[in-house]
Chains A and B, each alone.
Chain A
Amino acid sequence: MSTAVTETRSVVVERDIPHPPQKIWRALTQPHLIAEWLMKNDFAPVTGHGFTLSGDWGSVDCRVLSVELNKTLSYTWDAMGLESIVTWTLTPKGGGTHLRMEQSGFKPDQQQAFQGAQYGWQKFFGNLEQLLARAD
């Protein structure tokens, strides 16, 4: 298990998991299984498919970018002003799988946008209001 925060503003979580890639793939791509470990969703493993992840704290707008059966899956992840891409990579290892998740921001200036530009504030508070409205 490891967590790294790199200079390119991305989050990486990697683990060796004692289950085959095919099984992990199901957990990553079947909506009723995704709901058990991530959030409620209307995911479909189809490139271009737009879907929403709904948590008790708010929701995440996503779009599938690429799907390679049992190997890689990536989708956009937009929530509370954060625009990012989540990429899953499954690599067979022994009888199990090395599972890697990388989330990277694709707007290098978005930190600054958060920090005081009027647009950033409006977006921040607008999203905050939505988040709180949904939390009720």
Chain B
Amino acid sequence: MPDAPDMLFRTLADPTRRAIFERLCRHGEQTVGALTAQSGVSQPAVSKHLGVLKQAGLVRDRHEGRQTHYTADLRALSPLIDWTNQMAGFWESRFDDLEDLLKRMDQ
């Protein structure tokens, strides 16, 4: 598998972070306060998770007065969704290994 999805997998590996991202996917834009109320962890922890999600391009933020609103950005998932691109790279490298093996094999 190519490296591109690694960051997405790592970002979404944390269950709390994943739950925050899923909530934003299902319910649209939310404030940090609203997300904290539903998450069962402290507001600083939620903010930290949102920062990691933002770094991975999975969420966008919008400031309005004292509130910061977050939305999910599904475009960040496209490396995972476009399986044809992923698999083409995967098979090219498998073909390379297959050819290496054939060179080592007896007739």
Contacts and interface: CB of A to CB of B under 8 A. Distances in A.
Contacts of B83: 82, 84, 105
Given A11-B87, A128-B9, A132-B9, A116 B102 contact: no
B88 A5 contact: yes
B16 to A, nearest CB: 13
B33 to A, nearest CB: 24
A106 interface: no
B85 A23 contact: no
A17 B96 CA distance: 11
Interface string A14-53: 0101011001101100000100111000000000000000
A38 B102 contact: no
| Interface size of B as a range | 20 to 34
Interface in A103-125: 103, 105, 111, 114-116, 118, 121, 124-125
Nearest to A19: B102
B94 to A, nearest CB: 6
B81 A115 contact: yes
A20 B106 CA distance: 12
A10 B85 CA distance: 10
A42 to B, nearest CB: 18
A13 B92 contact: yes
Contacts of A15: 95, 99
22 contacts: A1-B92, A5-B85, A5-B88, A11-B88, A13-B88, A13-B92, A15-B99, A17-B99, A19-B102, A33-B105, A36-B97, A37-B94, A37-B101, A55-B1, A84-B83, A114-B77, A115-B77, A115-B81, A116-B74, A125-B18, A128-B12, A132-B9
Interface of B: 1, 9, 12-13, 18, 22, 25-26, 74, 77, 80-81, 83-85, 87-88, 91-92, 94-95, 97-102, 105, 107
Given A1-B95, A37-B97, A128-B12, 16 more contacts: A3-B92, A10-B84, A11-B87, A13-B88, A15-B95, A17-B102, A23-B107, A27-B101, A37-B94, A37-B101, A82-B83, A105-B83, A115-B74, A118-B26, A124-B80, A131-B9
